[in-house]
Each structure stands twice: as structure tokens, then as C-alpha cells.
Amino acid sequence: MAKVTVDQIRQRLAAIDGRRRHYERKSREPGRLRQHEVWRHTYLAHPYLLGAPDERVAERFKSIFMNVNELSAEGKEPRSDGSDG
């Protein structure tokens, strides 16, 4: 597994902090944050994958993707017409 350097973590943290501040500013404006923005802000407030190598992030994405999507017995996503595609 590839190692993550301290400089990479610092760069990621700076980017995360900027995005977190964006959502905090936006939440104070009239109108509420959309649900996906609330989820992003929640993660950005506690970025548990900050120091993770790309392989770990990809593994976590796959895990979330598999838990969110319903797949057919063949492991395929249903098509928009309702059939297994």
C-alpha cells in the first residue's frame, strides 16, 4: 500500500478546510443547504480518510457504493426501465 506523506496530508487538510468554510458560509445565507451539502459538510468537519492512501479511499467508495445501490443477482444495476441490465 502506498504511503501518504505529511505534505500530502497538509495539502488535503488545507483543501478540506476551505471547502468546510464554504459550506459554513453558505449555511448562513437565506435558504438551507441541500442534503448532499449537509453530508459533505459533516465529513469535512471530521475527515476520517484524510491520511488514507488512495487505495483505502477507493475501497471505502466501493463499500459505500455497494451499500447504496441495489444490484441484480448478476451484480448489475437495474436499468431505468426497471429491467436488469
Q: Which cell goes with 58?
A: 477507493
Instruction: Burial-class residue 68 by CB neighbours within 10 Å (0-12, 13-18, 19+).
Output: exposed
Indicate if the pLDDT at residue 72 is higher than 90: no
In this prediction, residue 2 carries a pLDDT of 67
pTM (predicted TM-score):
0.55
In angstroms and rounded to an integer, the radius of gyration of the C-alpha atoms of the chain is 17
pLDDT tens for each residue of 10-69: 998 999 999 999 999 988 887 788 888 988 889 889 888 888 888 888 898 888 877 777
CB 12 within 8 A of CB 48: no
In this prediction, residue 21 carries a pLDDT of 92
Looking at the chain, how many residues does it have?
Answer: 85
Residue 78 CA to residue 85 CA, distance in Å, equals 6
